[in-house]
Amino acid sequence: MKKELLTITPQARHCRIAEIAGISACIAKSVPEGIMVETENAAVFEKYFTLLEQTINIKDVDPKGLISVTDQKKLLEVLKKNDADLMTAEPVVIQQDCCRRSFLRGFFLCAGSVSNPEKSYHFEMVCKSQAQADQVMSLLLGAGTCPRMIVRKGHQVVYLKEGDQIETILGILGASKAFMRFENTRILKEMRENVNRQVNCETSNIRKSVSAAVRQIEDIRFLQENGSYSLLNDNLREAAELRLQFPDMPLNELGKRCLPPVGKSGINHRLRKIGQIADSIRNK
């Protein structure tokens, strides 16, 4: 997914500035010599300085990622910063929807991750401060999602757990291919889960039916061996004989064999009555 996002370059200058702000919030910090850019991701490093070159004509890149004091002034000026605190974006930089999307994209490239939807639904962005987390939370809320936050190893982690909300954010970030893959995976996963639920439900119902039939047959055999079978009236005896003859038959089919036929509730009532009679004799 990040490979896809790395290929996106905003056309509008204000959106490029917003994405620079998002990346700066994660990997740039003030030092006496200017601004130090630190990241192990070479692709993010390259994109960051490409954006700087396109937007504010910063060309001379120190191999260690140091932005000189002169270029620092340019950067702070376009980011509307009065100081070198780059951990949050100034409201004026992200006042438009397109700029908010660009900021989140830049931030996600450096501090975000999405789990494999085959395993779980989890999207997160790791923040360095409460102020940064509050801003990310606010932007995600404004995008129509319901983010939550936890503290992990001294960092504030803003995350989403719902599949549809993660899809929304993938679309906002501009990851159209990742969005389609995620959506297809989610649909297939939910279909499998629905099938499994139905199978489990049917299996549970079959087990209950089998257990009930076994108990009914035990009650009937008990009455026969006890000599109390004659206590059953004609309807109950008919139900008992049908159950013994068709031990695996569902109640609705068993009821159809009665003369005259009865519904599922009718045959169930008769077999329950037999069970009550058997229990009353057992408990004497």
Nearest 10 degrees: Cα torsion 18, 23, 29, 32: -70
Query: What mean pLDDT comes out for the span 36-55?
Result: 90
Question: pTM for the complete prediction?
Answer: 0.68
**pLDDT score of 88 more than 90:** yes
Cα distances from 268 to residues 225, 262, 272, in angstroms, run 23, 10, 6
Confidence of residue 161 (pLDDT cuts 50, 70, 90): very high
Q: Can you give the pLDDT at residue 60?
A: 64
> Average pLDDT over the chain, rounded to whole?
89
Q: Can you give the pLDDT at residue 61?
A: 66
Q: Can you give the pLDDT at residue 90?
A: 94
**pLDDT score of 117 more than 90:** no
Query: Which residues make beta-bridge pairs with 31?
Result: 34
Q: Can you give the pLDDT at residue 64?
A: 78
Query: What mean pLDDT comes out for the span 7-30?
Result: 92
- Taking the C-alpha atoms of residue 161 and residue 140, their distance in angstroms, rounded to an integer, is 13
Given the structure tokens 């200058």, which residue do they identify? 13
Choose among 132, 80, 91, 93: nearest CA to 15: 93
